[in-house]
Every structure is written in structure tokens, then in C-alpha cells.
Amino acid sequence: MQNWVNYFLVFILTAALFGLILANTRRLMMIAFGVVVLMLFSINIQFWSFGFAASKFLTGLMAMLILALTPEQHIVANTIKSGAGRIFYSVSFSFCILLVLFTIQKTTRFLAIGQDQSMPALLVLLCGFILLGIAQHPFRIIMGLLTTITGFEVLYSAVEQSLLVNGLLGAVVLLIAWVGSYLLMPTTPGEEQ
């Protein structure tokens, strides 16, 4: 890594991703996702222009706000029920960390970007894949989609600096949050069928 501060930022990012995977409530997941977006902004501001990095940061915060304003359903099914589930999530994400650490040299050569950007992006991307692959509750799945697209955005934005394409990626993030908010709305008794 080029800057020693990025080690500290990647460590906080990894802790926030663990928090995102192991969170029991929507509030904890939102806080963890907010820390992830903030750490990615702190890393990307070193390589991108301020406006470009700030637009990604604000898009992530707006998506989080859209989901935060969605009323909760009365069924609390988004918790990880057992200790074995927490251990499985932790071990699976630990394997992803090891995968990133052992393949980071080849990945950075293949993508032609620095480790400072590729390591956080791959960690976020793999965390999103874990949430998508294991989660059963719709809120956790939507957070998995947002996490995956956020990691992909960082990788793709480091390779392609087109404002139009990155604006479309930001629109996709907001669209996922908006559709997720609609799907998470509690249903009234007359609507259930």
C-alpha cells in the first residue's frame, strides 16, 4: 500500500464488514454499512477527485436513508438465530479475507490498479456475496445487493473514470434501495394473498 494510513482504514473497514455480516438488527446493519461507505470514501478521496468520491459517498448515504425510512415489519426474521450461524458467517468471511490477501498481487496486476483500492473493493464485494448467498430475510438480501454493488463500483470506477457510467451505477444503487424499500413495506391484512 502506498500510504500507511490505509492499513488502519482497511482494518476499520474489515471490522465494519464483520459487523454487517453479524448484525442482529436493521439499525446495526445500517450503522455498519455507513461505516463501510465512510471508509471507502476515505480511501477513494486519495485517488479520485473530491466531487467523484463525494458523489459515491452521498449515493451510499441516500440509499441507506431510503432503507432506514422504511417501516419495519412486525415479524423479526432478520436475526441470526444461533451461535453456529454466527460462527459460520465469521469463518466464511475470514476465508474471504484470506483469499483477498493471498491473491492481491495478481489481482492488482490484472486490474492495473493499486492495492489501496483493490483490497477494500474486493473485501466489500466478497462480503456482499456472502450476504447474498446465505441470507434469508429480504432486508439482509437487499443489504447484500447494496454491498456487492458498492464493492463493484469501487473496482469499476478505478478502471473507468467515465462520469456517465459511474452516474448510472449510482442510479442503480438508488434504484436497488428504492425497490428494496418498496418490498420491505409491511403489508396490510387485506393485501396478503
Task: Determine the 3-state secondary structure of 43 from DSSP.
Answer: helix
Give me the chain's average pLDDT, please. Answer: 87
pLDDT band at 73 (very low <50, low <70, confident <90, very high): low
Higher local confidence (pLDDT), 114 or 17? 17
Higher pLDDT, 23 or 80: 23
Beta carbons within 8 Å of 172's beta carbon, 6+ residues apart: 149
Q: Give CA–CA dist 170/139, Å, rounded.
A: 20
165-180 pLDDT, tens digit each? 888 999 999 999 999 9
Distance CA 88, CA 40 (A): 26
What Cα–Cα distance (Å) separates residue 192 from each residue in 44, 130, 189? Answer: 45, 30, 6
Judge if pTM exceeds 0.85: yes
pLDDT in tens, 91-110: 999 999 999 999 999 988 98
Residue-level pLDDT at 147:
94
Question: What tens digit of pLDDT does each residue of 135-158 get?
Answer: 888 899 999 999 999 999 988 888
Q: Where are the domains positioned within the chain?
A: 5-184
**Residue matched to cell numbers 483500492:** 117
The mean pLDDT of 7-28, rounded to a whole number, is 92
